[in-house]
């Protein structure tokens, strides 16, 4: 299945989504919309029980927002380029800013669609994941990263900006507030081993083992009770929006939702019989 720079291949319950928007999977409104559409398709595809997201490029996983691609109707006419450079920049920036806001809104919606997918998502990071690329990886459930040239980090403050694709919200959940503050305010880039040491990524691997290790993790997840994993993700994602009592209520609702499903019955039966469960995702 191909969808404008995105290709999905599925086998054995694992979907592999390859991003290929040159030169480094920069995020545009169109790219974000296509990614959201792909998440919707994966959510409804019972043949995909775990999703791997990878890049077709060895240098980059994802570079973040593509602020160089302007809409065809952007009007820069009438700007007096003979005035002082700071005034030219200010006038140009005022016209471009609404377009940037559109990209950011689309990027935020894209990250949310990845995080909300009711199936495990594994980011396979073989190249730089900086800025919005790091934020995309944070929206995934697991991050497998290769050692070598690849780096990961929220570098926006070094450009006079801030992480605006969910990084300020998701990074503290992953590494803790103090460490997130350090990473965001310094714009630090980390290699795979450094990132693993602080919990930013799940696993650091040698480059030649990236695909193997990623698919091994995805295989384990794809063989699990898919609906239970989806419920667990929903609870974890919503915990900050709920009181403790509301969270406990939702736990009970999820148990009701899972009760009587084929995988729940298989899980209980396998436990009683002392054997390994064989889940189907139903």
How far from 15 is each of 6, 11, 12, 230, 258, CA to CA, in Å? 12, 7, 8, 16, 24
What is the residue-averaged pLDDT of the chain? Answer: 93
For residue 50, give the nearest of 11, 99, 5 by alpha carbon. Answer: 11
Q: What pLDDT, on the 0 to 100 scale, is given for residue 96?
A: 73
Fold of 6-222: 2-enoyl-CoA Hydratase; Chain A, domain 1 (3.90.226)
List pLDDT tens digits, range 192-234.
Answer: 999 999 999 999 999 999 999 999 999 999 999 999 999 999 9
| Higher pLDDT, residue 135 or 75 | 135
Euclidean distance between CA atoms 155 and 62, whole angstroms: 13
Q: Report yes or no: 99 and 115 within 8 Å, Cβ to Cβ.
A: no
Domain ranges of the chain: 6-222, 226-273
Closest-CA residue to 122 (of 206, 25, 215, 193): 215
Taking the C-alpha atoms of residue 115 and residue 109, their distance in angstroms, rounded to an integer, is 10
Count CB atoms within 10 A of the CB of residue 27: 28
- Write out pLDDT tens, residues 228-266: 999 999 999 999 899 999 999 999 999 999 999 999 999
Can you tell me the mean pLDDT for 164-179?
97
Instruction: Give the pLDDT of residue 159.
Output: 86
User: pTM for the whole thing?
Assistant: 0.91
User: Which of the four pLDDT bands, split at 50, 70 and 90, describes residue 132?
Assistant: very high
Is the per-residue pLDDT at 88 higher than 70?
Answer: no
Task: Say whether pLDDT at 97 is over 70.
Answer: yes
71: pLDDT strictly greater than 70: no
Q: How far apart are CA 122 and CA 143, in angstroms?
A: 6
- CA pair distance 158, 221, nearest whole angstrom: 37
Tokens 């720079």 sit at which residue? 5
């Amino acid at each position: 299945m191909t969808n404008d720079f995105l290709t999905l291949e599925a086998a054995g319950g694992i979907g592999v989504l390859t991003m290929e928007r040159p030169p480094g999977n920069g995020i545009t409104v169109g790219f974000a919309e296509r990614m959201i559409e792909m998440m919707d398709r994966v959510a409804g595809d019972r043949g995909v029980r775990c999703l791997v997201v990878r890049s077709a490029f060895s240098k980059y996983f994802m570079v973040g927002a593509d602020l160089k691609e302007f809409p065809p109707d952007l009007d820069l006419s009438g700007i007096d380029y003979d005035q002082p450079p700071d005034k030219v920049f200010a006038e140009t920036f005022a016209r471009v800013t609404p377009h940037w806001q559109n990209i950011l809104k689309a990027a935020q919606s894209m990250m949310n669609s990845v995080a909300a997918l009711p199936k495990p998502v594994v980011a396979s990071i073989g190249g730089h994941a900086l800025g919005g690329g790091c934020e995309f990886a944070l929206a995934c459930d697991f991050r497998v990263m290769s050692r070598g040239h690849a780096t990961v980090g929220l570098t926006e403050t070094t450009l006079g900006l801030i992480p605006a694709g969910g990084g300020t919200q998701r990074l503290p959940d992953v590494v803790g507030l103090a460490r997130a503050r350090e990473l965001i305010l310094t714009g630090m880039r980390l290699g795979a081993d450094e990132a693993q040491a602080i919990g930013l990524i799940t696993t650091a691997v040698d480059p030649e083992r990236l695909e193997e290790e990623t698919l091994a993790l995805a295989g384990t997840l794809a063989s699990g009770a898919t609906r239970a994993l989806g419920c667990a993700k929903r609870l974890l994602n919503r915990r900050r929006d709920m009181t403790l009592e509301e969270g406990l209520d939702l736990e009970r609702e999820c148990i009701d939702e899972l009760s009587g499903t084929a995988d729940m019955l298989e899980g209980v039966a396998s436990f009683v019989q002392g054997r390994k469960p064989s889940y189907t995702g139903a």
